[in-house]
Amino acid sequence: MANTEATATETEEEKVLTDLEKVGEPRAPRKKPNEINAEELTGQIETPKVQRDVADHKPYLCKPKSMEKLGFPSELRSDWHDAAIAKMGDLLKKYKALQVYMDICVKCGSCTDKCHYFIGTQDGNNMPVARAELFRKVYRKYFTTEGKILGKLAGAERFDLDLLGEWYSYFHQCSQCRRCSVFCPYGIDTAEISMAAREIMDHIGVGQKYTNDIIVKVHEVGNNLGMNPKALAATLESTEEDLEEETGQKIRLPLDVEGADVLMVTPSADFFASPHVESLLGYAKVMHQAGINWTFSSTASEAGNFGIFIGNYGQMQKVASRVQKAIEELRPKRLVVGECGHAWRIAYSFWNTIIGPFGSLDPNYPRPQHICEFTLDLYNRGAIKFDKSANDDRVVTMHDSCNVARGARMGDQRGGQFTIPRELIKASCNRYVDMDQDTIMEKTFCCGGGGGLLTDDLLELRVQGALPRMQALHKVRETHGVNFMACICAIDKAQFTKVMPKYGIPLSVCGGVHQLVASAIELGAKE
């Protein structure tokens, strides 16, 4: 410290921050998000004027205890600089795509106005190219000849504490939604860069509280919520009571049934939160009416897998291994995944290699299968019937989840991840309308809470990031009277119900696809 002779008053007023605290400390105090009047929504998504350093959001730092439990250093390593560069070198070698993304950008500008956080915050560093540049300038400094020799002239920069602070801020203002990559002529995937950045930060002792605490909870209790098997059983039982009261029928939500035909893995929020639980009722009604012997598992009581958000495939595999264990325990024939965006990406694109191949499952069905495909198939085969008029109070639109839209597929047709949920929605209601074409399907806008940012310490950012989706929703509310936006993702549902009131849009506008199914399905004796 240069100034050790600070007066007593000064030291009292200015708390001396550790290096780690400096990295995690926002430059301005966290504030409550502005309420946005619905009348201010125009339905148009405008490209804002670029501003510098206005989005000083930083999430809470992960506490030492959770860091240790995940095998990360508990505090910022004293050799953090060298360790970070060495880790970057490892990742560049291991993930060839990352190396290509570092070298291939031509600064064409296609991505600049495509990020919802840029549109919502106006902060220049939230333009995908600028975000990636925070990583690239370190890369150039240590891994390219011109950067080593020419330094700043070649766009290279030494990795210092200030830059690490910017990394912590802006790589937690990326929800890894991949919308920018759709517009990049070279296919640069900023999500991969942001995942690598978070992996490097965890490796040197700079972790994010929300995501890391949740991964710890999955390892220790079994799901993101921290709901133990006893609480899960009690919750399912209580939900069965509700279903009986509503329908007069004994609709089961079975748990840990060995030899059941279908193992259902769903986000734990479906058991607990609103409107998530409405979709849970939908799954149960479908299984009941189709006469399917199915079960949840207390071992695999979570479809979500936050390992991907921190770019750590070891953690991702460890979280996913619970599903593998449940298959061994319960020996199901089929594996079905509930409404969860990133979970479906991992299930569809990663499970086969990290916990598969699923040799014990019936090869006549997709392994795993998405609940929308599962239900639509039953409907198309006549095993279940819908009364569309049950949803006549609704004008429905659909919000495509990023990870389903851009990181996975459903069924065996190209674009099945877009058509299957829409067909299912249209089968269960009479009035459906899509939002603006530039905001749906592969061009869908993030809800603003994905990628491990669904935490209240980032609430202001979450409200800002939801702006483009709110504009598109507002437009169809004005033009078509839309009053229900169907989602297939637990994060979407939690995020929208939290931020929509800030835009003057009622909570009830957000719900699940299987919430519509739950209303429309005809229960009782089959003809």
Partner 1 sequence: MSFEFAGKTYETDDDGYLVNLDDWSQDVASYIAEMEGVDMTEAHWEVVNFLRDYYQEYNIAPAIKILIKEMKKMFGPEKGNSAYLYDLYPAGPALQACKIAGLPKPTGCV
User: Which is closer to partner 1, CB of 175 or CB of 471?
Assistant: 175
Q: Decide: is 276 part of the binding site for partner 1 (CB under 8 A).
A: yes
- Indicate the SS3 state at residue 417: helix
Q: Decide: is 21 part of the binding site for partner 1 (CB under 8 A).
A: no
How many CA atoms lie less than 13 Å away from 79 in the CB half-sphere?
A: 5
Burial class (CB in 10 A: 0-12, 13-18, 19+), 34: exposed
Q: Decide: is 271 part of the binding site for partner 1 (CB under 8 A).
A: yes
Judged by CB under 8 A, the chain residues 302 through 361 that form the site for partner 1 are 304, 340
Q: Decide: is 269 part of the binding site for partner 1 (CB under 8 A).
A: yes
Choose which of 169, 268, 305, 515 interacts with partner 1 (CB under 8 A): 268
Point out which span in 196-204, 371-379, 426-434, 448-456 binds partner 1 (CB under 8 A): 448-456
Choose which of 38, 60, 99, 321 interacts with partner 1 (CB under 8 A): 60
Query: Beta strand pairing status for 334-337 and 294-295?
Result: unpaired
Q: Residues 176-215: x/- map of binding to partner 1 (CB under 8 A)?
A: ---------------------------------xx--xx-
Tell me how far, at minimum, the Cβ of 276 lies from partner 1, in Å: 8
H-run or E-run covering 370 = strand 369-370
Q: Decide: is 33 part of the binding site for partner 1 (CB under 8 A).
A: no
Burial class (CB in 10 A: 0-12, 13-18, 19+), 383: middle
Q: Which of 340, 336, 276, 352 is nearest to 304 (CA)?
A: 340
User: Which is closer to partner 1, CB of 40 or CB of 456?
Assistant: 456
Residues 119 and 123: their CA atoms lie apart, in Å, by 8
Choose which of 262, 290, 310, 494 interacts with partner 1 (CB under 8 A): 494
324 CB-near residues (< 8 Å, 6+ apart)? 355
User: Which is closer to partner 1, CB of 305 or CB of 369?
Assistant: 305
Task: Report the side by side order of strands in the sheet with 396-398.
Answer: 396-398, 484-487, 510-512
- Indicate the SS3 state at residue 523: coil
Choose which of 175, 223, 375, 391 interacts with partner 1 (CB under 8 A): 223
User: Which is closer to partner 1, CB of 173 or CB of 268?
Assistant: 268
Q: Which of 400, 385, 402, 393 is nearest to 520 (CA)?
A: 385
Query: Beta strand pairing status for 334-337 and 396-398?
Result: unpaired
Tell me how far, at minimum, the Cβ of 354 lies from partner 1, in Å: 21
Kindly provide the b/e burial profile for residues 324-343, where b requires at least 16 CB atoms within 10 angstroms of the residue's own CB.
bebbeebebbbbbbbbbbbb
Q: Decide: is 493 part of the binding site for partner 1 (CB under 8 A).
A: yes
Tell me how far, at minimum, the Cβ of 39 lies from partner 1, in Å: 24
Residues 497 and 156: their CA atoms lie apart, in Å, by 43
Alpha carbon of 346 to those of 198, 305, 351, 470: distances in Å? 18, 8, 6, 27
Choose which of 215, 277, 300, 404 interacts with partner 1 (CB under 8 A): 277
Residues 181 and 187: beta-carbon distance below 8 Å: yes
Q: Decide: is 231 part of the binding site for partner 1 (CB under 8 A).
A: yes
Q: Decide: is 487 part of the binding site for partner 1 (CB under 8 A).
A: no
User: Which is closer to partner 1, CB of 17 or CB of 234?
Assistant: 234
Q: Decide: is 458 part of the binding site for partner 1 (CB under 8 A).
A: no
Judged by CB under 8 A, the chain residues 235 through 254 that form the site for partner 1 are 235, 238-239, 241-242
Q: Residues 366-405: x/- map of binding to partner 1 (CB under 8 A)?
A: ----------------------------------------
Which spans of this chain sit near partner 1 (rule: CB under 8 A)?
Answer: 60, 209-210, 213-214, 217, 223-228, 230-231, 234-235, 238-239, 241-242, 267-269, 271-274, 276-277, 304, 340, 454-457, 490-491, 493-494
